[in-house]
Structures are given as C-alpha cells and as structure tokens.
Structure 1
Amino acid sequence: MRARLVPALLTLVVLLPAPVHAGPDEPRGVWPLSPEPEVVHGFEPPPNPYAAGHRGADLAGSPGQAVRTALPGTVAFAGAIGGKPVVTVRHDGRRTTYEPVVASVERGQQVSAGDVLGRLVVPHSHCFPAACLHWGLIEGTGDDETYVDPLTLVGGGPIRLLPLWRDAPTSTRRPWTTRWAPPIELWRRPVDWAA
C-alpha cells in the first residue's frame, strides 16, 4: 500500500500549480486599464530588431478611459510621436509605453503604480475604429534595448512548458522523422513475402 501511495503523492505534488511570486528583479505591476481588459492582440517579438512584429500587447478599452502606469517610476516622455500621443514611464532599467494616450502627466513627474497617466483616444489605435491601448515594455537602454511581453508584469504572457527534468530530452522524435514515414529501424526489418 505504501509503495503505491508514494508515487501518487509525488505525482500530485508535481501537478499542483506553483504559487506565483514576483522576485526582486520582477516587480508585480498593475493593469493599465481597469477593470482587467481583454487582450486583443498579444506580444509577437520580431526575429530581429528591424523585422516586423508586434512589440507589445493591445488591450481593449473605451474612448476617454483612464490609462494607469503599471509600475512606479518617472515619466520619461509625454507627447506626440509622428502625430500619435504617447506616454513613456522609466522604471530602473526598463520602460513601459502607452499609446494612443493623451497625457495628463509631464516629463520628469514621479508616478506610483496605478496613477493615471492620461486618457485613451481612438485615433492611431491599433484596433481602429475601436479603442485599444498598445502597451509596451522595453528592458535595457541604448543598443541593448529589448522588447519584452508587458503581460509578464501582471502575471500573464505566454505559457511555456518545460520538461520536468532538465537533462531529459523534450522529445524522442528524430528531426528527420515525420508522421508519414516510419523510423528507419522499421524499414530494415525483413519482409516475409510468403505471408
């Protein structure tokens, strides 16, 4: 009985979800729109810095809705870029961006997580004719800038499945094997033509 109970308990422990904790390098943020919005278009990083991609997340909103900063920081930019109203907040080596947002804050202003940065507008919306907030997260500075999924600040982002054991292969399938071709070991079996 005990021999059966131990594997069952180990399986249960492995299957239970681990609690989500934000480490010192990963501060927990707040959603920039309230209530928690629908994610209309998720983060799709480009294969290289100059390629096409979606460098943020689009969150469904409504015209005039208050846009809040996800983390405490300093307003680095509040104005228009190419006619599009943008607010950028700096947070110790990373920045969050919010667009299209008509700012109610000024450059250099200190903000706490959840403080209102401005109001969401429809022109220049990624979801035009609907209103949505394009929310971005950039880590690093200068040539070392990297776009990161902003949903990671609120416990979202892509789900990544990892193997239970690091040294174990994630797949036993050979790269050259397809579902239509059997492994080469089956090709070498002698065929009994008399059968």
Structure 2
Amino acid sequence: MSTVTFVALALAGALTGPPAPPAAARWSWPVGGGARPAVAAPFDAPEEQWGAGHRGIDLSTARGGPVTAVADGVVTHRGRIAGRGTVSVTHADGVRSTYEPVDAAVSMGDRVARGQRIGTIGPESGHCAPAACLHLGARRGPTYLDPMTFFGARRVILLPVP
C-alpha cells in the first residue's frame, strides 16, 4: 500500500518562487452593504451538467434586505424558478450572474451598474431555510463557475508531491 503526500498549490509556490499577489476582485458583494457576508454554502461543481451539486454560493443575509448587482450588465431574466423570484444579469465578459430569492426592482433589458439595487431578498424559503440567504450563481455558456473567484478568492488545489 503506497502513501501519497499532498501539498496545497498555494503553498507549492514557495518551491518555485514568491506567491502570486491576491487576485483582484471583479465583483462587489450583492448583500451586506459592501462588507463580505458569511458564506452559508460554498460552490460544489456537478460532475455532469445534470448531476448533483451546488451551482453557486449562498450568502447569509436578512429577508427584505437589498440585493445589488455584482457588476455592470444587462438584466436578461426576471421571473420565478421553482417558486422563487430570480434575476439574472449578463455582464460584458459573457458571465451571467443569477440571484435568488429576489423580489425584483428591475425589468428585462434594464442596464444596471455595479452596486445598483436590483431587488430585495424575497420571503420564499431558500437554500438556507429557516434562515435567509441569497443564492448567487455564475455561468458562462453552459459552464457553471465558482462565484468566489470573481471576488478575488483563490481556489486551493491539492497536488501530489513526487
């Protein structure tokens, strides 16, 4: 039986040189008034497009609280999915951010700016019931993306050490 040792990729940089600076945040937090809210549930990519997973992050907040656009874009969806109010904004880089549950204050085709109020946290039970949270998704084409990367977070990847 062999043993494989793993090291975090972020630490592996010490073997080849100084670590890279933190990634720049491209998005602003959609809840919490600009401060980083608690992440109630992280992104968990499905192995297959149709498979189980968590296709976004859940951010702790309060029912009725404001929801703002993470970046400039155009509202490309406003409606209800699975009984919850949803809003999607498509950004210039082709990434679509989706927010739920949201009582929308915007309409399809509206241009929104980073930090602009797009609605409020809806009364529907969401992923965090009985607590309230905002589910924030990110997608480019058919591919779900980890929204945390747009806030400047780096994903730690474990690699085998020879």
Q: TM-score range by the shorter chain?
A: 0.7 to 0.9
Structure 2 residue aligned with 1:156: 153
Q: 1:116 Cα shift?
A: 0.8
Structure 2 residue aligned with 1:171: 161
Distance 1:40 1:146 in 2: 22
Matches within 5 A, 1:68-147: 68-92=68-92, 93-140=94-141, 145-147=142-144
Bigger share in helix: 1
Structure 2 residue aligned with 1:190: none
Distance 1:83 1:21 in 2: 36
Bigger share in strand: 2
Q: 1:108 Cα shift?
A: 0.3
SS for the counterpart of 2:161 is: coil
Say yes or no: does 1:14 pair with 2:17. Answer: yes
SS for the counterpart of 2:149 is: helix
Give yes or no for contact 1:122–1:129 (8 Å, CA) kept in 2: no
- CA 1:52 to 1:95, structure 2 compared with 1: closer, same or farther past 3 Å? same
Structure 2 residue aligned with 1:62: 62
Give yes or no for contact 1:150–1:157 (8 Å, CA) kept in 2: no
Higher-Rg member (1/2): 1
SS for the counterpart of 1:105 is: coil
Q: TM-score, normalised by structure 2?
A: 0.82
Percent of aligned positions that are identical: 41
Give yes or no for contact 2:23–2:153 (8 Å, CA) kept in 1: no
Count how many residue pairs are aligned between Structure 1 and Structure 2: 146
SS for the counterpart of 1:133 is: strand
Distance 2:103 2:50 in 1: 28
Amino acid at match of 2:144: Y
Give yes or no for contact 2:27–2:151 (8 Å, CA) kept in 1: yes
Gaps of 5+ in 2: 1-13
Q: TM-score, normalised by structure 1?
A: 0.69
Q: 1:157 Cα shift?
A: 5.2
**RMSD between superposed Cα atoms in Å:** 2.0
Higher RCO (C-alpha under 8 Å, 6+ residues apart): 2
1:116-162 per-residue CA deviation (whole Å, 9 max, x = no partner) reads 1100124131001110000000012xxxx100001111112532356
